[in-house]
Structure 1
């Protein structure tokens, strides 16, 4: 397998609500039209999508049962260029309907971060990491 993630899909309870959150609230670009069965968003390097949870579970297998809320053992991260941007992005997410679960603060690993959950309870970290800065192209550089 080549080392590449091409698409991340989140199962959501209410597709139009999720589209409003990510498109209108956070400003992620999409070609979604009302009534489409799935919404794809353009992000740097990886596509991001939201799809009804029950249909996503069924796509895996008819026996797969969707799980409800709570921490599901996965987080998504949005890294920023500067420490001050962490609080600004968290505030933007909150205005869009997110719940802030950890406000912006210095992190044990030497950076600055905070967490929010989207309307379906998916956890997002917003982070500034001076040891893994974003390049001009927007990609994170992992220092050895």
Structure 2
């Protein structure tokens, strides 16, 4: 019996990012829910630990700009889904695979302002996926992001 090759785009989600109007207000709300904020958070982004994945809060306009989509109710839902990878090469391979099967390219992977590497594509219904390598949040043995407590 032969083992199936690992797909270039693994069936996992490492991060859901919500584009929010006010990061401080949204952070306070989720903290009041009792959720645990990561020390990797700063004034521009907040990360929360969740079972099996992470939640990010990022400015809605900045998130739309990062994905290179129009920040409007018809052009941007305010939500992105992310899969993180161990290397820039894996990001490129996954991105190329997604585009080759019909994903709409919105941002080719590139080095980004926060020190990582990422790109975005949209699925057939316009849902945005970010493919990223974050050298500050390595992946554990299950492919999930490791963030400091």
TM-score by length of structure 2 reads 0.51
The aligned counterpart of 1:115 is 120
What is the CA distance between 1:83 and its match in structure 2? 1.4
RMSD of aligned C-alpha atoms? 2.8
Aligned to 1:74: 79
What corresponds to 2:90 in structure 1? 85
Q: Distance in 1 between matches of 2:10 and 2:144?
A: 19
Unpaired segments ≥5 residues, structure 1: 1-24, 30-44, 47-67
Q: 3-state DSSP class of the match of 1:141?
A: coil
In structure 2, distance between residues paired with 1:107 and 1:143? 21
Question: 2:130 aligns to what SS in structure 1?
Answer: strand
* SS, match of residue 125 in structure 1: strand
Q: Once superposed, which parts of structure 1, at least 4 consecutive aligned residues long, lie more than 2 Å away?
A: 25-29
**Could you tell me which residue of structure 2 aligns to residue 40 of structure 1?**
none
Which among 133, 136, 146 is matched to residue 131 of structure 1? 136
Please list every run of 5 or more consecutive structure 2 residues that lacks an aligned counterpart in the other structure. 1-7, 13-51, 54-72
Contact kept? 1:69, 1:121, Cα under 8 Å? no
Q: What is the CA distance between 1:69 and its match in structure 2? A: 4.6
Structural mapping, 1:91-110, within 5 Å: 91-110=96-115
Equivalence for 1:22? none
Instruction: State the Cα deviation string for residues 77-108 of structure 1 (Å, max 9, x = none).
Output: 01111111111111111112101100010010
